[in-house]
Amino acid sequence: MIQTIPSQPFEGQKPGTSGLRKKVRVFQQAGYTENFVQSVFDAVERPAGTTLVLGGDGRYYNRTAIQQAIRIAAANGYGKVIVGRGGILSTPAASHVIRKYGASGGLILSASHNPGGPEEDFGIKYNIANGGPAPEAITEAIYARTQTIDCWMTVETPDVDLDNDGETEVAGMMVQVIDPVADYAELMENLFDFPAIRAAVEGGFAMAFDAMSAVTGPYATEILEGRLGFAAGTVRNGTPLEDFGGHHPDPNLVHAKELYDTMMSPDAPDFGAASDGDGDRNLIIGRGRFITPSDSLAMLAANAHLAPGYAAGLKGIARSMPTSAAADRVAAAQGIACYETPTGWKFFGTLLDAGMATICGEESAGTGSDHVREKDGLWAVLLWLNILAVRKVSVDDLAREHWAQFGRNYYARHDYEAIETERADALMAALIAALPDLPGRAFGSLTVAEADSFSYTDPVDGSVSENQGIRVLFEGGSRVVFRLSGTGTQGATLRVYLERYEPGDGAIDRETPDMLAEIIIAAESIAGIAQHTGRTAPDVVT
């Protein structure tokens, strides 16, 4: 019954910041997806007869890859596969399902905010038994296996019906199709004060949620409209589409512009939010007030105790290095630790498992807590709703009060996309070479205090991750960070992260571009972006 199919390694099956991401056409090559899935099963820890969770963001190729993975799992001795109906599981929901049902891990099929469709992107990510992304030691082992693999195993069986809940046997393995929303919705109801939010809604509080034709649609519709009583139509673009309607399911001011325009208009609802392809990112916009993800992390941390799930307070906060230091000030005020990790959710797992951090966040619109081991878009939205319902203030007032208390970290990220890889590498190499000479140099009124290549030693397991981005810290707390993206599928993407701190009694009510103008000029002088890449302006500013 089990078939062993001879194969040869494919180049480049190296997981990046968040799994293996390539063009659909690449995954469609004969044996490509199978090689990678087999390599995962060869490399990871999985007792015989264990359970695998399987689901994705519904993008093009999701169903094909799921049927392949089911057959390969059956041939490799899994006892059970739990799969979301329709092949759907948001990333945070998959993390929860892994934890709740004691699976040894899960395959999440997603390229997150990258566009979908036959000519666009697909991705596969493995999460371990704690529900979180595989740490680097495991992704390295998977990659090593892809370089030596010479066969993969499968079983011959018809496709499993993914559209009806229930159990099917596949070559001695059980496949259970579950409601992708139910477990997750129950978890949210346990963490947040749903009655308080419902009361606010009854009192006229209104919101707009853009699901961006991606995986969060069914979750948001059930929770926001179904359980919290928001008006029908609150969730826009709520049906997951294989190509996300031709858009990038990236909840930022560029790709969620319609929502932004709604929120800046005179008849805006009280609250606006969006999430990404796989449901782990969030965008928060109040009426007339955009909240940067870094600020959102800080504001949520400062107010989390208002939600029942966090009433006992926070054990610690963790943020990725390029995320602004706004959360650090909240941690200091609460007398708890703030950890600075490399980019990517996998670095939060040990801190969450060890009970050292409760809330984590990234500047890229990822926020989450120890309720799962992934960032969680709807969770962030619900925590905001809970806080607003209890405090009965507008987003704008909450933000102003926060800045007056803690000061404001003006922040923006400039992305230069699809640069030729050699040019991007040359830019980074030149930056690294220039590091020793930077301290003491002046750029306009800014003087460099310190400059380094960020290296992280995990405080729990001692593992070291080097070359995680170039930091240039100026006197007075302003900063610029340069790093190359690890999620793109075309050339290189240079990310330039800009930050300036103003104390609470300073200029906290200015426009971000004005406040960052000098740092932007300094970043160009330091990195020679135009000279190296030929680009004089970023493609995306978030």
Q: Which residues within the stretch 258-297 sit at the binding site for ligand VG1 (CB under 6 A)?
A: 276, 280-281
Which CB sits closer to Co ion, 276 or 328? Answer: 276
Which CB sits closer to ligand VG1, 270 or 362? Answer: 362
Beta-carbon neighbour count of residue 66 at 10 Å? 24
Strands (E), 287-426: 289-291, 316-320, 337-341, 359-362, 366-369, 408-419
Of 278, 295, 328, 374, the one binding Co ion by CB under 5 A: 278
Residue 174, phi then psi, degrees to nearest 5? -90, 130
Q: Which residue has the tokens 């932004």?
A: 260
Of 486, 491, 504, 528, the one binding ligand VG1 by CB under 6 A: 486
Which CB sits closer to ligand VG1, 51 or 542? Answer: 542
Catalytic residue list contains 112: yes
Is residue 366 within the footprint of ligand VG1 (CB under 6 A)? yes
Active-site residue among 90, 110, 112, 485? 112
Q: Which amino acid is at 125?
A: K
Is residue 280 within the footprint of Co ion (CB under 5 A)? yes
Which CB sits closer to ligand VG1, 113 or 532? Answer: 113
- Binding segment for Co ion (CB under 5 A), chosen from 37-45, 219-227, 271-279, 459-467, is 271-279
Is residue 482 within the footprint of ligand VG1 (CB under 6 A)? no
Which CB sits closer to ligand VG1, 51 or 323? Answer: 323
Q: Which amino acid is at 356?
A: M
Compute the residue count for the chain.
542
Q: Which residue is nearest to Co ion (CB)?
A: 112
Helix (H), strand (E), coil (C) string for 230-257: CCCCCEECCCCCCCHHHCCCCCCCCCCH
Is residue 121 within the footprint of Co ion (CB under 5 A)? no
Is residue 112 within the footprint of ligand VG1 (CB under 6 A)? yes
By rule CB under 6 A, what count of residues binds ligand VG1?
Answer: 18
Q: Which does 344 bind (CB under 5 to 8 A by kind): Co ion, ligand VG1, none?
A: ligand VG1
Which x/- pattern, by CB under 6 A, does the window 307-336 give for ligand VG1?
-------------x----------------
Q: Which residue has the tokens 């609470």?
A: 504
Cβ distance 377 to 384 under 8 Å? no
Q: Which does 17 bind (CB under 5 to 8 A by kind): Co ion, ligand VG1, none?
A: ligand VG1
Cβ distance 255 to 248 under 8 Å? yes
Q: Which residue has the tokens 């680009």?
A: 535
Shortest reach from residue 75's CB to ligand VG1, in Å: 29
Shortest reach from residue 115's CB to ligand VG1, in Å: 12
Is residue 249 within the footprint of ligand VG1 (CB under 6 A)? no
Distances (CA, A) of 309 to 303, 305, 312, 345: 12, 8, 8, 21
Cβ distance 68 to 121 under 8 Å? no
Q: Which amino acid is at 290?
A: F
String of DSSP letters for 392-438: ---HHHHHHHHHHHH-EEEEEEEEEEEE-HHHHHHHHHHHHHHGGG-
Shortest reach from residue 105's CB to ligand VG1, in Å: 17
Beta-carbon neighbour count of residue 456 at 10 Å? 17
Give contact residues for ligand VG1 (rule: CB under 6 A): 17-18, 112-113, 276, 280-281, 320, 343-345, 362, 364, 366, 485-487, 495
Active site residues: 112
